């Protein structure tokens, strides 16, 4: 029997094919390439979404209400509140105040005017606290159409055009007289 015929009987033909090892390596390489392509798309999508929220990341202890200068003056129907900003750049601050079942919100930004809101102790155009600074404001509750003692005051910073969640709030608003503030 010839060698050629013997190889054909044993299954060893001269046909060229892909061995099992090469096929496995090719499948693994194909799977790795597919995973890499999917990862690039997913990573870009996640980075885009995080870019919006990233402006607000870890700023909540840096934009606060100062309890020592936040009070309610029942005689003048005013609320005095102080905002402190730490080491962060803020575009504006959204302030929300609730009293007597009603809520009022307004934005404090550089040079803004709000009818019933002034700087304290002087009046004029509103200023936003700078980095590592605090400023105090006075709100005319009657002008804001809020009746009675305020229930809560909340602030939300706007950073790089993105409004962040509430960074601080005061629920227990003391009387200005009891705090020695006139």
pLDDT in tens, 139-158: 999 989 998 889 999 999 99
- At residue 100, the pLDDT reads 87
What is the signed CA dihedral for 123, 72, 63, 109, rounded to 10 degrees? -30
Tell me the torsion sign for CA atoms 127, 131, 135, 139: positive
Give CA–CA dist 89/140, Å, rounded.
28
Average pLDDT of every residue of the chain = 85
- At residue 94, the pLDDT reads 96
77-96 pLDDT, tens digit each? 899 999 999 999 899 999 99
Q: Which residue has the tokens 């504006």?
A: 92
DSSP annotation of 136: E
Q: By the 8 A CB rule, do 149 and 72 touch?
A: yes
33-74 pLDDT, tens digit each? 999 999 998 988 887 776 656 678 778 789 999 988 899 988
pLDDT at residue 4 is higher than 60: no
pTM reported for the whole predicted model: 0.70
């Amino acid at each position: 029997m010839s060698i050629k015929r013997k190889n054909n009987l044993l299954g060893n033909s001269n046909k060229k094919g892909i061995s099992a090892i090469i096929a496995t390596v090719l499948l693994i390489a194909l799977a790795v390439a597919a995973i890499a392509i999917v990862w690039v798309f997913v990573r870009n999508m996640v980075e885009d979404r995080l870019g919006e929220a990233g402006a607000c990341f870890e700023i909540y202890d840096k934009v606060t209400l100062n309890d020592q200068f936040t009070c309610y003056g029942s005689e003048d129907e005013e609320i005095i509140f102080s905002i402190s900003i730490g080491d962060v750049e803020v575009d504006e601050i959204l302030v929300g105040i609730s009293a007597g079942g009603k809520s009022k919100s307004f934005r404090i930004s550089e040079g803004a005017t709000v009818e019933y809101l002034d700087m304290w102790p002087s009046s004029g155009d509103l200023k936003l606290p700078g980095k590592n600074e605090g400023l105090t404001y006075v709100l005319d509750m009657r002008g804001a159409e809020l009746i009675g003692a305020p229930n809560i005051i909340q602030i939300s910073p706007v950073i790089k055009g993105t409004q962040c969640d509430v960074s601080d709030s005061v629920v227990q608003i003391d009387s200005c007289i009891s705090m020695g503030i006139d």
